[in-house]
Every structure is written in structure tokens, then in C-alpha cells.
Structure 1
Amino acid sequence: MKLQLFRNATLKLDYAGRIVLIDPYFAPKHSLESFTGRSLNPMVELPVDIEDILDGVELVIVSHLHDDHFDSVAMERVPKHLPLFCQPGDEATIREAGFADVTPLAGRATWEGLTLTRREGSHGLGAVVELMGSVMGFSLEAAGEPSLYWAGDTVLYPPVAEVIRETKPDIIVTHSCGARWDGDLIVMDAEQTIAVCEASQNTIVIATHMEALDHATVSRLDLRKAAQARGIAPSRLLIPHDGETVVLGKS
């Protein structure tokens, strides 16, 4: 399996011979509003051209419709004929944008040898969840490949811990920037990411969704220092830079 991080949550997977694009966020640097007044968003440019990101893509997965996961540029540039999985409730909006092959992932689905399973997520806890709206994560499996749990825009809460405990994934992808909305944590921070590592001793955790948005509170360096202080080896917690490719095999 090859996983390339582009920016924020945008990933490209080469998995079982198929190329999957996750949560495309293509907006130019500083083209969108600030969340906190600290900076316009996104705070950094994409590391490669959009054409390079889209090259070879066969399947698209969109976890939810926040602009930093599927923005207007991506809606325009992603080829409309590509099959696309989304959370139930988002399919009408995506079809209205011109996409012809949209499937809400309500439970488990198969596509060209890949098995996708929808996982619950909570974009914060308490009152902020209603404001943030519903989100999803997913598990991905295929013969000969490491099992992957992409947690998505969620904090660490019991359903996430249950997926880790019951499925024992080889790889977990977390969103670990500690983003906050009106003071409420809405994705994992350093402490929660370390807790994921500690809950899954045989799993490699890949921390993404970092250093791209102005409501983030945790940098890559912050996370690495916190992990080292807790004895988490760099080989168990990968923190890729934008544009970096990670290659992993089945454990």
C-alpha cells in the first residue's frame, strides 16, 4: 500500500492495484475565510499540481461536505464520471454538482476487490456536534493489503475506540491537529492521538490534517515531542509532510 498526503485530509491511496482519492481539498492558499482570525485558509499551497493529484484516480471517497474536505474547486476539477462514495445524506448535493456515480456508504460495500465499511465519527462532543454536523470514517480491506481504518474528522470517543479494539487494523489514519471551534475540540489532539497509539500496540498510526487550517492548535513538531515524551516510537506514529508518500505492507 502507498499512501500520499497532499494537504489537510487529502490522501491518495494505491491499494490492491486501485487508486483512491480521499477528501479532495484543492483551494488555493488564502482563498477561503479564516476560522479564528489568525489566517485565511488554507494556510499552505498544495505541494503538487491538481492534475498530478488526479492522475490515475479510479475512486473518490468524501467523508463529509465541509469545505476543507470537498471544496468548490474539487467539485469542479474531480472528473464527474468517477465512482464516489459518501456518507448518507450528502449524495443529493454531490449529484447536483454533476457527479453521475454516487453511492452513500450506509454499511459495507465492495468495489473492484476493495471492501469499505462505514465507521461512526463525532466531530467534537456536546453542543458543537450539532453545529459541525455528521461525519464518517471508514475501514478499507483487500486481499494481500494491510487493513486500514481512516478515522476521519472525529475526536477519540467510545465508538472509535471500539473499532480499534474489535477490528485491530494494521494502519489507523487520524486527524490530529487539535482543531477547535469556539473552544471545543473537534478532531483529535496530541493526547488523543497518543491514546490511539497506546490502544493499538501492533498498529501503525498515521497522523494527518495538520498545519493547513487556522483553527488547528497542534503542529507536527508538537505531536512528535508529545509522542516521544510518552515513549511512542517514530516507527509507530508517522507524521507525513504535505506531498510525502508512505509505503506499508501487511503486518
Structure 2
Amino acid sequence: MHENEIALTYIGGPTALLEYGGLRFLTDPTFDEPRTYEPRNGVTHTKTHGPGIAPADLGTVDAALLSHHHHGDNLDIRGAALLRELPLTISTTKAAQDLGGTVEGLEPWQSRLLGDVTVTAVPALHGPPGSEGRGPVNGFVLQAAGAPTLYISGDNASLLYVETIVQRFGRIEIALLFAGAARLPVAEGDLTLSSADAARAAHILASDTVVGLHTEDWAHLTESRDDFRNAFAGKGVHVETPRAKRVVLRRP
């Protein structure tokens, strides 16, 4: 790839291979085939679709950006096995404590320089106000000289948090938004952005390039990729990302 070219290969669910600043990042690794998992904390998760790319076919991955480790729809069994083979995973401090290995934890607003890319953890709220007990979640902001600023939301449902990110960084030109309006019977409200709130987040961010992730492949998602696409109809910002096909988001 060209060092200044920004590209994304959508793998499925919250998982994508992002090329940015001359590095290759993997978001929230999920590589299991369809299955229903053993109940955990009274919740049964069902995966409905397998990955578009197998771990063996990813090529070089410089780092994983793991929003959180304690929910199987963001880190499943094969995804966790892959992390143990990667040179670096950047996640929450709780994930670093629990997973060990090459996982490094950042608190919100802490940064880590990787090559020429500065990775900053940013706050995320996994549900409506009062959902902090669901465990720590990070989003990420990526910056590199000569490159547009890029935001990966992780499982964030709070537009107030999106506003704090803009206050800190200014305009975010490229946004990877986890949507799907995830819902569970043990929790009230959307646990991730709805499609409408994703459109509002993009407006707050003033993003001209938006990619929707986490909009399919899990039964507890109540909105689809079509819903996400429709929420951005006529806005001129949504980038469609076919499964397993590399899409250039920005050329130098």
C-alpha cells in the first residue's frame, strides 16, 4: 500500500483491517463461525455469520485496537487466540490486566506512539447513562502527520462523549462507527449507537467519510447495515464496505 493511503477491509461484525499511517490495524477481532455461546451473566449471544477473511489470510497486522475484552461480540474465541499471536494489542487497562501477553492498556485520553501513528484512547459508554457498570470500553483516535484524523468509536452509545472528543481533537475527518443498536433483555436502552445516532455523531464530528461497523452478524443487534445506510442517505458521507473487499477511504 502507499504509505499515505488509508484503506479498510471489512471482515464482519466489529472487525475490520485498517491501513493508516503505513501500519495495519485490526479492530475488535471476531473470527468464530456461526454459533450460540454458553450463557454468561444471564445472557446468551448468538453469532449468525462467519468472518469474510480467516486469520491466516490477514497478512501482516501491526496492532489490534480492542475496544473491550469482556463481551464475546467484540472478542470471540478465535479472535482471542489471534491476539496471542500479534505483536501488540492496545485496549483498556482492565483488558491488559486480564489478558496479559502483548496487550497494553490505556486510560481515556492516554496516547501511545506506534511507528508514525499516535493512538489515543478516548472514552466510550456502552449503553445509556448509568451503564458504566458494564465494564470499561475505549474508543480510539488515530493521528499521523499529513493524514486526516480518524476515530474508531468502539461500543459507545453516548453522543455526549462524542462531543468531548471533538472538543479535544477538533474535526474528525474519518469515523468508524459501531452501530446496530445492540439490545439485551438484561439491560435497558441501546448498548451501541442506533443508525440515527450514528448520523448525529457524524454531524458532531463533521466527518466527511463514515464507515459503519458492528451492524450485523450478531442476533442481539436490532438494526442492520441497510438501516445504517438509510440513515446517511443524501448526506454524502457514508462509505459502503463490502465484506472482504479492500476499500480505499482516502488517497494522498
TM-score of the pair, normalised by structure 2 = 0.85
Distance 2:219 2:132 in 1: 19
Identical counterparts, % of pairs: 23
Contact 2:83-2:89 at 8 Å conserved across structures:
no
Contact 1:121-1:136 at 8 Å conserved across structures:
yes
Distance 2:231 2:80 in 1: 37
Give yes or no for the alignment of 1:56 onto 2:60.
Answer: yes
1:142 aligned partner = 144
Contact 2:63-2:89 at 8 Å conserved across structures:
yes
Distance 1:114 1:238 in 2: 23
Gaps of 5+ in 1: none
Distance 1:123 1:152 in 2: 9
Q: CA distance change for structure 1 residues 222 and 110 in 2, over 3 Å: closer, same or farther?
A: same
Q: CA distance change for structure 1 residues 20 and 224 in 2, over 3 Å: closer, same or farther?
A: closer
Contact 1:4-1:13 at 8 Å conserved across structures:
yes
Q: CA distance change for structure 1 residues 29 and 196 in 2, over 3 Å: closer, same or farther?
A: same
The residue type equivalent to 1:144 in the other structure is G
Q: Per the alignment, in what secondary structure is the counterpart of residue 219 of structure 2?
A: coil
1:163 aligned partner = 165
The residue type equivalent to 1:118 in the other structure is A
Contact 1:34-1:41 at 8 Å conserved across structures:
no
1:220 aligned partner = 225
Deviation at 1:42, TM superposition (A): 1.5
1:90 aligned partner = 95
Output one character per residue of 1:20-75: Cα deviation in whole Å (capped at 9) or x when no partner.
Answer: 1121111111253589xxx962111111222112x111212211112122222222
Deviation at 1:219, TM superposition (A): 1.0
Alignment match of 1:26 (pick from 31, 42, 55): 31
The residue type equivalent to 1:157 in the other structure is L
After the TM superposition, which residues 149-228 of structure 1 pair with which residues of structure 2 at under 5 Å, given as runs?
149-165=151-167, 166-182=169-185, 183-228=188-233
Distance 2:34 2:68 in 1: 21
2:50 aligned partner = 45
2:8 aligned partner = 3
Deviation at 1:79, TM superposition (A): 4.5
Q: CA distance change for structure 1 residues 126 and 247 in 2, over 3 Å: closer, same or farther?
A: same
Give yes or no for the alignment of 1:14 onto 2:19.
Answer: yes
Q: Per the alignment, in what secondary structure is the counterpart of residue 152 of structure 1?
A: coil
The residue type equivalent to 1:139 in the other structure is V
TM-score of the pair, normalised by structure 1 = 0.86
- Across the aligned residues of Structure 1 and Structure 2, the Cα RMSD in angstroms comes to 2.3
Output one character per residue of 1:88-139: Cα deviation in whole Å (capped at 9) or x when no partner.
Answer: 12112211xxx2x332123011111110111000000134442x22101010
Gaps of 5+ in 2: 1-5
The residue type equivalent to 1:7 in the other structure is G
Deviation at 1:12, TM superposition (A): 1.0
Per mean C-alpha deviation after superposition, the further-off stretch among 72-81 and 83-92 is: 72-81
Q: CA distance change for structure 1 residues 163 and 127 in 2, over 3 Å: closer, same or farther?
A: closer
Deviation at 1:202, TM superposition (A): 4.7
Distance 1:48 1:172 in 2: 22
Deviation at 1:249, TM superposition (A): 2.3
1:105 aligned partner = 106
Deviation at 1:225, TM superposition (A): 2.5
Distance 2:241 2:33 in 1: 21
Report how many aligned residue pairs link the two structures.
Answer: 238
Q: CA distance change for structure 1 residues 16 and 193 in 2, over 3 Å: closer, same or farther?
A: same
Distance 1:32 1:242 in 2: 24
Q: CA distance change for structure 1 residues 222 and 198 in 2, over 3 Å: closer, same or farther?
A: same
2:244 aligned partner = 243
Output one character per residue of 1:144-166: Cα deviation in whole Å (capped at 9) or x when no partner.
Answer: 32210111101133121221354
